[in-house]
Amino acid sequence: MEHPIAVIDFGSQYTQLIVRRIRELGYFSRLYQPSELRETGNPAAVILSGGPRSTLEEGAPDIDFDYLVELGVPVLGVCYGMQLLNRKFGGEVAPGNTREYGPATLLVSEGVDGIFNDLEGHSQIWMSHSDTVSQLPDGCEVMGTNLDGIPVALRWNERFFGIQFHPEVSHTTEGTEILKSFLGRATDLPVFKIASFKDELVEKVQAQVGDRKIVCGVSGGVDSSVLAALLHEAKVDTRNIFVDTGLLRKNEAEEVVSLFEEVGIEIETIDASERFLTALKGETDPEEKRRIIGRLFVEVFFDAVGDDVELLAQGTLYPDVIESATSGSIASTIKTHHNRVDRIMELKAEGRVVEPLDELFKDEVRELGRVLGLPERVVGRHPFPGPGLAVRCPGEITEEKLRIIQDADDIYIGLLREKHWYDSVWQAYAALIPTKTVGVKGDERSYEYALSIRAVTSEDAMTAEWVHLPYELLGEISNRILNEVPGVNRVLYDISTKPPASIEWE
């Protein structure tokens, strides 16, 4: 897409969110490294992100300021970006006495034509910095200060602005309005709508694939299902392969087959569940379990497709590209054992891996799925880990443990749907605790497993908060599991946040 809003990444943990917020406003934005500034083409605007470094450090990230000026477009510096711009314009930055992290108040300066024109006199913002602006260059105006009178928003001229806080995080209550106001100074903004972007993706796939055959691994998850639907929409010669690892949720294999029959997409199913359970027998180390699953998945997949692969489709999303990782793809099950993906890496090096979703965030992939006609039960589905239930079964994986997790999870998710909580939760699941506890069932003492249920809200899994499910619902979930799932006599609700906990157990 032409004229993207270029976000220059200086390493902030929130940088992806800037791109997301801009797209939520209806404009197309992409992330670039500082060295890629000249590769942004003809951007409509440029935003310099925050970062963990100090502009005073030797070798600190820099920007081609002359080219930035030459572009002639609005520029916004955020945190590190603001300090960098202040130095470029001739001002100075000094180490702060303390690191300022957390909520603060923005006091908007009167009479300054900046990017706060639609704000009231004050607003809650979110800080994360250690250095501070110590001297302003000639001509620089203060758009806003904190409660101590320290400048936290600057205007160097009619095109260059800086803010010492993060507008992209939800803790900055009017952050979206600030970004919108800044973008209002740009011209030729790239409108971004999934419905029209779909046609661009179809044309991209057709150009990449041509008359060659492409192989696509499907799992029934959001990413791979949307990928298969996009290839189907593009009418390219596709072979879709579904590997049943035996580590799926209850009746999931049958549901995947039924789904693709419903939407008219042909898939091949490979039942490798016995091979996976045999390979995992006796293993308790979580990383080794991942390695075993990854190695075997690749073996099973390529045993089916053979060595003569013209093209391989992967459901890599934009956050995966940014983090140099993969999601919803064959490689996502491998994670820590890249030595087992030599074949995939070879295909990628040869330009034979097609990743048409690599410009999209998760919520955009869901919307694309809706546009492509996939049912809501697919596009609204919670994330599911590549290694499957293995990450929800600490310790050795056995058929009994998998049966307990599957039955409990089926009850849990079913009740979330029934009580209209499923769509309010980003991810929910049941996990087995590898400890047996004493209980009472009927007139006898029992010695059975404890089970954990978890529900979180998140944005692309970077952080997560536990969901405050009603006590009545938690009680019903617990009673149903205890009464209907043999082998469990205790149900716990996981109220850990990420960080410090992870979303999944392993």
Q: Is the pLDDT of residue 505 over 60?
A: yes
Q: What is the CA radius of gyration of the chain?
A: 26
Percent of the chain residues topping a pLDDT of 90:
71
**Across residues 255-268, what is the average pLDDT?**
94
Percent of the chain residues topping a pLDDT of 70:
94
Give residue for tokens 């758009």.
Answer: 143
171 an active-site residue? Answer: no
Model pLDDT, residue 165: 93
All residues at 6 or more sequence positions from 377 whose CB lies less than 8 Å from its CB, including other chains: 259
The string of pLDDT tens digits covering residues 311-354 is: 999 998 887 776 643 233 333 443 333 334 577 778 888 888 99
The string of pLDDT tens digits covering residues 441-485 is: 877 888 999 999 999 998 767 778 999 999 999 999 999 999 999
Q: Is the pLDDT of residue 5 over 70?
A: yes
Catalytic residue among 100, 129, 140, 168: 168
Model pLDDT, residue 100: 63
Model pLDDT, residue 171: 85
**Across residues 197-213, what is the average pLDDT?**
95
Q: How does DSSP classify residue 498?
A: B
Q: Is 432 helix (H, G, I), strand (E, B) or coil?
A: strand
Separation of alpha carbons 267 and 257, rounded Å: 8
Q: Is 318 helix (H, G, I), strand (E, B) or coil?
A: helix
Separation of alpha carbons 25 and 20, rounded Å: 9
**Across residues 267-272, what is the average pLDDT?**
96
168 an active-site residue? Answer: yes
Regarding beta strands 444-458 and 464-466, do their DSSP bridges make them parallel or antiparallel, or are they unpaired?
antiparallel
Regarding beta strands 92-108 and 75-78, do their DSSP bridges make them parallel or antiparallel, or are they unpaired?
unpaired
Catalytic residue among 3, 129, 140, 166: 166
Catalytic residue among 79, 140, 216, 393: 79
The string of pLDDT tens digits covering residues 154-167 is: 999 999 999 999 99
Q: What are phi and psi of 482, to 5 degrees?
A: -65, -35
Separation of alpha carbons 23 and 145, rounded Å: 28
Q: Identify which has the larger pLDDT, 95 or 405.
A: 405
Model pLDDT, residue 323: 61
Q: What is the set of domains in the chain, with CATH numbers?
A: 5-183 (3.40.50.880), 194-379 (3.40.50.620), 400-494 (3.30.300.10)
pLDDT band at 12 (very low <50, low <70, confident <90, very high): confident
The string of pLDDT tens digits covering residues 118-165 is: 787 788 998 876 788 889 999 999 999 988 888 999 999 999 999 999
216 an active-site residue? Answer: no
Q: Is the pTM value of this prediction over 0.75?
A: yes
Q: Identify which has the larger pLDDT, 284 or 336.
A: 284
Instruction: Please report how many Cα atoms fall inside a 13 Å half-sphere around the Cα of residue 261, on the Cβ side.
Output: 7
Mean pLDDT for all residues in the chain: 90
Model pLDDT, residue 121: 74
